[in-house]
Amino acid sequence: MSVADRAGVPVAPERAAAAPLSGRAAPRRKPRRPAARSVLMGDREILTHGLPRPIWQDLYHRCMTISWPGLFATLGAFFIVLNIGFGSLYALMPGCIANLNPPGWLGAFFFSIETSATVGYGDMHPQTVFGHAVASVEMFLGLLSIALITGVMFARFSTPRARVMFARYAVMRPLDGQPTLMMRVANARQNMIVEASARLRLVREEVTSEGFKIRRIRDLALVREQTSVFALSWTIMHVIDETSPLAGESSESLVAAQGQLVLSIIGTDETTGQNVTARTQYRPHSLRWNHTFRDILGVDENGHEVVDYTHFHEIVPLAPAAGS
């Protein structure tokens, strides 16, 4: 009886010979699905699948984006693992290191640390060809590691980062008889950001006339999109008229369309001469209709102008209009 007769299912001739005698098809191994990655878009978390994660091909970006504690922990772990490995190599050949102290593996581990750091106190030193060969390889890796770590540290310290504060809420209020969207930003570093510019965009889901769902990005015109010097605070405004993408919108309609406002700031840091950028997103729950920002500008008893950032995020409701 053939394999096909026993199994009850036709089997291709070229595959029949490979079929097991029991008549059961060999289980196929399912391809491993790459782990999901989390991408934060403001306060919105999106999981992505299907992209490879070539760690060694993107190592520089990981070093630039990891937190400082995470970077130091990673470098410390690499340092320990490297010296454990080379210390174990020295310990494989007893007597290859002169004046080993303390004796045994621990002394070889400390000698590896001295070698990789190119310290060389002079007490312990290689005395066999094997010891010199291993020490030569370790010194090369140690010098290479120091150069790479120095480059990463310099890149992280030299990368400009703006300390721009964004108010937690955006407000909608009438201004000069027109409903106006207002957002408040401040330069927490209080240096000069020259030729600062702002861009505001509305991102929401829409359905075309063919019934195709699409996520569209619409630009919102600003009353003033540039300022020559951004040092303290800046209130960014968009007039909601009949041409505005926000015309007729409400909190409920924005929630239904998964809408969000994306505000970005770009300028030149006067101290370093480098471009700095900052951005934030406002979800519908962060928009406050018929509210205004609490004033943070004032004058003290000595006549000095004061900016009180303790009230930077505070908003207050507007009084109802007369006759409403």
C-beta separation of 240 from 172 below 8 A: yes
Residues 6+ apart with CB under 8 A from 62: 55
- Give the pLDDT confidence of 115-136 residue by residue, as tens digits: 998 888 888 999 999 999 999 9
The pTM score is: 0.69
- Give the pLDDT confidence of 3-42 residue by residue, as tens digits: 444 444 444 444 444 444 445 555 566 556 556 776 666 5
Last residue of a domain, one of 131, 158, 185: 158
Q: Do the domain assignments include residue 237?
A: yes
Q: Do the domain assignments include residue 2?
A: no
| Distances, alpha carbon 148 to alpha carbons 13, 78, 189, 209, 297, in Å | 58, 13, 30, 55, 48
Q: Do the domain assignments include residue 4?
A: no
If asked whether residues 180 and 312 sit together in one domain, one would say yes
Distance in angstroms (rounded) separating the CA atoms of residues 199 and 264: 5
Longest dimension (CA), the chain: 107
If asked whether residues 104 and 220 sit together in one domain, one would say no
Domain that holds residue 233: 164-317
Q: Do the domain assignments include residue 3?
A: no
Burial readout 244-268 (b: 16 or more C-beta within 10 A, e: otherwise): bbbeebeeeebeebebbbbbebbbb
Residue 197: closest CA among 267, 298, 92, 262: 267
Residue 181 has pLDDT above 80, yes or no: yes
- Give the pLDDT confidence of 243-279 residue by residue, as tens digits: 999 998 988 999 999 999 999 999 998 888 888 899 9
Q: Do the domain assignments include residue 47?
A: no
Q: Do the domain assignments include residue 14?
A: no
Q: Give just the sign of the alpha carbon dihedral 92, 97, 98, 100.
A: negative
Total count of domains within the chain: 2
Q: Do the domain assignments include residue 180?
A: yes
Residue 324 has pLDDT above 70, yes or no: no
If asked whether residues 312 and 230 sit together in one domain, one would say yes
CATH number of the domain where residue 133 is located: 1.10.287.70
C-beta separation of 274 from 221 below 8 A: no
Last residue of a domain, one of 158, 181, 213: 158
C-beta separation of 41 from 281 below 8 A: yes
